[in-house]
């Protein structure tokens, strides 16, 4: 199994080689990433940071990775992961050590558990289902963001 950063680089290569199947933004500057981390009071793991730097946000339809981006309507506010993390803390009681990676019809809320960093400062990926139990039901679905994103991209390519 590839390490998380190598997996993130493979995601970038797959997305770039299949522009007709994947959509993405133009990347995210370091100062916006820093602002997003400050707003969440959490740090991005290296593989997610690499993907955010490259794309900002990206989509392997129907899967949308939130990333970090801005829009003219929202001004300087970092959108994507920081906005959903904040909203889900309030609306769903999301624990503060979770970082929202995506909302999905199958997984419900996909989160990075920042309380469990590995030796490479990567966080495991969990599906957090809010409707099953008070406090949510968690299922570990990947060891890192890079590995999760790579599996999702490969799945999309296998359907095409």
Of residues 138 and 32, more confidently modeled: 32
* 3-state SS string for the chain: CCCHHHHHHHHHHHHHHCCCCCEECCCCCHHHHHHHHHHHCCCCCHHHHHHHHHHCCEEECCEEECCEECCCCCCCCCEEHHHHHHHHHHHCCCCCCEEEEEEECCCEEEEEECCCCCCCCCCCEEEEECCCCCCCEEEEEECCHHHHHHHHHHHHHHHC
pTM of the model: 0.92
Of residues 138 and 96, more confidently modeled: 96
Q: Is the predicted pLDDT of residue 132 greater than 60, yes or no?
A: no
Which CATH architecture group holds 4-159?
3-Layer(aba) Sandwich (3.40)
User: Where in the chain are the domains?
Assistant: 4-159
Quickly state the pLDDT bin for 109 (edges 50, 70, 90): very high
Dump pLDDT digits (tens) for 56-99. 999 988 889 999 999 999 898 999 999 999 999 999 888 999 99
């Amino acid at each position: 199994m590839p390490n998380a950063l190598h997996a993130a680089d493979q995601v970038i290569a797959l997305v770039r080689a299949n522009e007709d199947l994947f959509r993405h933004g133009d990347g995210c500057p370091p100062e916006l990433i820093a602002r997003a981390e400050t707003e969440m009071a959490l740090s991005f793991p290296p593989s997610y940071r690499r993907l955010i730097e490259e794309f900002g946000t990206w989509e392997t339809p129907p899967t949308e990775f939130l990333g970090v981006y801005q829009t003219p309507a929202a001004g300087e506010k970092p959108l994507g992961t920081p906005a959903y993390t904040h909203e889900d803390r309030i609306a769903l009681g999301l624990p503060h050590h979770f970082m929202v990676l995506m909302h999905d019809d199958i997984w419900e809320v996909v989160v990075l558990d920042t309380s469990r960093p590995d030796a490479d400062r990567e966080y495991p990926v969990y599906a957090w289902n809010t409707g099953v139990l008070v406090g949510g039901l968690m299922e570990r679905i990947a060891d890192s963001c890079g590995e999760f994103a790579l599996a999702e991209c490969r799945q999309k390519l296998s359907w095409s």
